[in-house]
């Protein structure tokens, strides 16, 4: 069934798509199989063409930002993977108003706004995602998150082609949650910052970078695997369950930060999923707390919730 959708979408999109493109290199885990089709949205024309093809064929879609909260199965994704660039990688700063295309990286957003003597997005230097992925996840850290300064986001529903500017209060932003759905693509976001002091913001940024280096591992991971349960931390619970360093095949729990799971070079996404399921089960058995994945798991036959 999917193959028919994929072939039909490939015919409609012509040179806009490539077939059988590895997704691993587009993610920070660097594991996982291919996208049946991949396209990059660089202009409004591209968005229109892709929305038309999705409506005409029903091909499943997956938007990939910087792939820093994403684990794609070794089997890959049997649909159309969408990345963003071109027009959607632009950043405009006008007074305290910041308009960022969805493909702008959060560390760049943090540094550019600080250099413009604006304050409010310093935290974003530590989150290696894109603006689009950050809106979808309501990413945050160091006492703040996207919702603190977001005004609105431009969102296109690929199944209807509807192109809307959605005000923050309509995005239902909560802890690592938003109303942006799997068939929506965020094309850009507008933030309202406050006038600040460039040197103070740059000092704060340097402190965040230092803290991250000291407390979080490098290598192939996607940050926190599980959300923190109310009043506790997933990392503390995994550590308390004795699972730091725990290994399943080519994946292991980081000895440095227990809520970060590392994939070996050339490792397997299915091993990472097996580790997630095993840690979830063992933490529940040993501490009584059920942890929920923060990581987006794609292409697997069944996924833990």
Ligand X SMILES: Cc1cc2nc3c(=O)[nH]c(=O)nc-3n(C[C@H](O)[C@H](O)[C@H](O)COP(=O)(O)OP(=O)(O)OC[C@H]3O[C@@H](n4cnc5c(N)ncnc54)[C@H](O)[C@@H]3O)c2cc1C
Q: How far is CA 36 from CA 82, 210, 236, 244, in A?
A: 11, 40, 39, 36
Q: What residues line the site for ligand X (CB under 6 A)?
A: 28, 62-70, 84, 102, 126-130, 132-134, 136-137, 139-141, 180, 184-186, 216, 221-223, 296
Q: What is the DSSP letter of 189?
A: E
Task: Please choose, from the candidates 183, 216, 208, the residue with its C-alpha nearest in 3D space to the C-alpha of residue 82.
Answer: 183
Q: How far is CA 113 from CA 18, 109, 203, in A?
A: 35, 6, 13
Catalytic residue (one of 112, 176, 236, 286): 176
- 6 vs 261, beta carbon nearer ligand X: 261
User: What is the closest distance, in whole angstroms, from the C-beta atom of residue 270 to ligand X in the complex?
Assistant: 18
Catalytic residue (one of 152, 224, 250, 268): 224
Catalytic residue (one of 147, 152, 178, 294): 294
User: What is the closest distance, in whole angstroms, from the C-beta atom of residue 124 to ligand X in the complex?
Assistant: 9
- 142 vs 286, beta carbon nearer ligand X: 142
Residue 294 appears among annotated catalytic residues: yes
Q: Give the strands of the sheet with 77-84, arranged side by side.
A: 17-22, 34-41, 77-84, 61-63
Residue 251 and residue 132: Cα distance in Å, rounded? 28
User: What is the closest distance, in whole angstroms, from the C-beta atom of residue 254 to ligand X in the complex?
Assistant: 10
Residue 224 appears among annotated catalytic residues: yes
Residue 31 and residue 9: Cα distance in Å, rounded? 26
- 28 vs 57, beta carbon nearer ligand X: 28
- 95 vs 218, beta carbon nearer ligand X: 218
User: What is the closest distance, in whole angstroms, from the C-beta atom of residue 181 to ligand X in the complex?
Assistant: 9
Task: Please choose, from the candidates 156, 145, 159, the residue with its C-alpha nearest in 3D space to the C-alpha of residue 180.
Answer: 156
Q: Which residues are catalytic?
A: 176, 224, 294
């Amino acid at each position: 069934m999917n193959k028919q959708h994929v072939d039909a979408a490939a015919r409609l999109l012509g040179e806009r798509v490539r077939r059988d493109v590895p997704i691993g290199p587009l993610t920070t885990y660097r594991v996982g199989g291919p996208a049946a089709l991949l396209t990059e949205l660089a202009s409004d024309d591209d968005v229109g063409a892709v929305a038309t093809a999705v409506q005409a064929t029903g091909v499943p879609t997956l938007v990939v930002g910087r792939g820093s909260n994403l684990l794609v199965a070794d089997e890959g994704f049997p649909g159309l993977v969408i990345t963003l660039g071109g027009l959607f990688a632009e950043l405009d700063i006008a007074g305290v108003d910041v308009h960022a295309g969805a493909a702008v990286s959060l560390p760049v957003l943090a540094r550019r706004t600080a250099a413009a003597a604006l304050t409010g997005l310093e935290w974003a230097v530590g989150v290696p995602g894109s603006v689009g992925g950050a809106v979808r996840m309501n990413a945050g850290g160091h006492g703040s998150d996207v919702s603190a300064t977001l005004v609105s986001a431009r969102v296109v529903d690929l199944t209807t082609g509807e192109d809307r500017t959605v005000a923050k209060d309509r995005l239902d932003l909560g802890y690592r949650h938003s109303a942006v759905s799997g068939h929506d693509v965020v094309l850009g976001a507008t933030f309202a910052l406050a006038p600040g002091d460039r040197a103070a913001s740059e000092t704060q940024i340097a402190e965040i970078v230092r803290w991250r280096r000291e407390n979080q591992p490098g290598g192939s991971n996607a940050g926190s695997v599980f959300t923190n349960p109310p009043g506790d931390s997933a990392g503390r619970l995994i550590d308390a369950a004795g699972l730091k360093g725990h290994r399943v095949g080519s994946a292991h729990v980081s000895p440095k930060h227990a809520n970060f799971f590392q994939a070996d070079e050339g490792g397997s996404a299915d091993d990472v999923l097996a580790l997630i399921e095993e840690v979830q089960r063992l933490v529940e058995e040993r501490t009584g707390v059920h942890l929920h994945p923060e990581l987006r798991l794609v292409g697997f036959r069944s996924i833990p919730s």
